[in-house]
Amino acid sequence: MSKKKIKEIFIGSNNNGKLKEIADLLPKSLKIYSNFDFKIRSPVETGTTFAQNSLLKAKYFSKKTNKICMSDDSGIEIDILDKAPGVYSADWSGKKRNFNLAIKRVYKEIFKKDKNWKKKKITARFICVLTIFWPDGKFVSKIGKIEGRISNIKKGNNGFGYDPIFIPNGKRLTFGEMEPYKKYSIDHRSNAFKKIKKFF
Ligand code: IMP
C-alpha cells in the first residue's frame, strides 16, 4: 500500500445508512465518491466471515472504479442465537431491506430459545470490518466491536438497521435513541476506523 495520504476514496456500499456513517468518520478534506456518482451494483457476498466479505467488496469496487476504495462489512451477533444473524444481518431484513421485519425476526427467534427472555440480559455485539483496497492490489482490513444487549422494545429513530434494539454496555439508551456523535464515539465502525485513520 502507498505511504501517501489518501486524498480521494470511493466508498463501496449501497446501504445509505452505512454510507452516511462512514462519510461522517472521514476527514472533511477528503473527496468522497460513492454509488451516487458511479451506480455500481453490489457484489454477491459469498464470504462466511465479516473479514472475507469486507475484502471482497473493497476489491470488487476498486476494480470497477480503479480508485482506492473502502468497504464495510458489519452486523450484529446475538449470543443466545448462536451469534446469528451475524454476516446475514442485512438478509434478515428481506429483499426490500425492511428492518422492522428483521427486528421482528430477532424477537421471534429469541422467544423460541427462551420464553422468559425479556427478564434476562440478552448479550450481543456489533462487529465491523473496514477494508481499504488500493488499485495496485494492496489492502488493509481492521475489525472493530461494541458489546451490549438487546432491548426488549424497539426504541429511537436515529441510525439505521438494528440500532433501535441495541443498548451498548454501560448505557441506558439504544443506538437508535442516541445522538449520532455519541454513537460514533463508541461504536464498532469508529472502533475499526481508528485503526486505519493514519492512511488519511
Ligand atoms: P452488510 O455489511 O452490507 O452485509 O450489512 C450489514 C448489516 O448489519 C446492515 O444492513 C445492518 O443491518 C447491520 N448493521 C451494521 N452496522 C450497523 C449499525 O451501526 N447499526 C445498525 N445496524 C447495523
Mean pLDDT, residues 111-116 taken together: 98
Distance 12 CA to ligand 1 centre (A): 14
- Annotated domain spans of the chain: 8-188
Query: Residue 14 — pLDDT band, cuts 50, 70, 90?
Result: confident
CATH number belonging to the domain at 8-188, selected among 3.90.950.10, 3.40.50.300, 3.90.1150.200, 3.40.190.10: 3.90.950.10
Query: Residue 4 — pLDDT band, cuts 50, 70, 90?
Result: confident
Mean pLDDT, residues 109-113 taken together: 98
Mean pLDDT, residues 56-80 taken together: 97
Mean pLDDT, residues 4-30 taken together: 93
159 lines ligand 1 (CB under 6 A): yes
pLDDT at 162: 98
Query: Is 73 labeled as catalytic in the residue annotation?
Result: yes
Distance 143 CA to ligand 1 centre (A): 14
Q: Is the pLDDT of residue 86 over 90?
A: yes
Distance 63 CA to ligand 1 centre (A): 24
pTM for this prediction: 0.95
Grid coordinates representing 133? 483496497
Q: Is the pLDDT of residue 175 over 90?
A: yes
Q: Is the pLDDT of residue 1 over 70?
A: no
50 lines ligand 1 (CB under 6 A): no
* Catalytic entry in 24, 37, 73, 114: 73
89 lines ligand 1 (CB under 6 A): yes
Q: What percentage of residues in the chain have a pLDDT greater than 90?
A: 92
Mean pLDDT, residues 114-133 taken together: 98
Which ligand 1 atom sits nearest the alpha carbon of residue 189? 19
90 lines ligand 1 (CB under 6 A): yes
Q: Is the pLDDT of residue 79 over 70?
A: yes
DSSP of 161-194: TTGGGEEETT-SS-TTTS-HHHHHHHSHHHHHHH
